Amino acid sequence: MIGTTLNPPQKAQLIAAQPEAQINLRSQPSTDSRSKGYGLVGDPVQLLRSAQDSDGREWYYVKFEQSGAEGWVRGDFINTAGRATPLPQRAAQGSECTGLLEALAFTAFYDASGFNLIRFTNLETKSTFDSPLSPQGGNPPTYSGSASPPTGGTLPVQLTDQSGGNPGGGSQVTLNYAGMAATGTCQ
């Protein structure tokens, strides 16, 4: 068996700079090996093993959650940090504000202590990723964090509570994500 077994297997998703990219699934951890098919950006996978090729690049032996297909994918096409997990208890028990930011839907979660998390959903790929939020003070209250989208990198997130600290009942939030601005409405 090639590579080091990951025990337990890790959840991840495929990433690429282009949302429509097809990511090759290989028979061996090498770009010279035959392609067994491909995956798409946002596809959820389980990482079963890891190995390095002769150039020192990391490869993962993956299993696609939906199709069950298995094979090797180069590590720079795998995002282990950005895959959304079940909501933390604090967010799941709180209230929310929702909005649209270009091809992303966002949900900002809040409770009596303020906003604590934003979950982004790519409307094209259906992939999700989160940004925990920290209070920054100010009037109106501002919260900041960073998000790691499936396309890679870490981008800044800033949310402003336009209600002045009492969100709900149709009040508004403004969101700045990587220089893009949007407005959301609170329930």
Q: Tens digits of per-residue pLDDT, 84-142? A: 566 667 777 789 999 999 889 999 999 989 999 999 988 877 678 888 999 999 999 99
Provide the CATH number for the domain formed by 4-79 in this structure: 2.30.30.40
Query: Strand pairing partners for 118?
Result: 108, 131
Q: Which fold has domain 89-186?
A: Lipocalin (2.40.128)
Mean pLDDT of the chain: 88
Burial of 130 (0-12, 13-18, 19+ CB in 10 A): buried
**What are the start and end residues of each CATH 2.40.128 domain in the chain?**
89-186
Whole-number pLDDT of residue 69: 94
CATH 2.30.30.40 location in the chain: 4-79
Q: How much is the pTM?
A: 0.60
How many CA atoms lie within 13 Å of 149's alpha carbon, on the beta-carbon side?
21
Q: How much helix, strand and coil, in percent to the nearest 5, is found in the chain?
A: 5, 55, 40
Is the model's pLDDT at 165 over the cut of 70?
yes
Asked if 105 and 123 count as a contact pair (C-beta separation under 8 A), the reply is yes
Q: Among all chains, which residue has been given the structure tokens 């709900």?
A: 168
Single-letter amino acid code for the residue at 96: E
Percent of the chain residues topping a pLDDT of 70 = 94
Q: Quick check: 83 pLDDT over 60?
A: no
pLDDT at 148 over 60: yes
Closest by CA position to 15, among listed 163, 154, 167, 116:
154
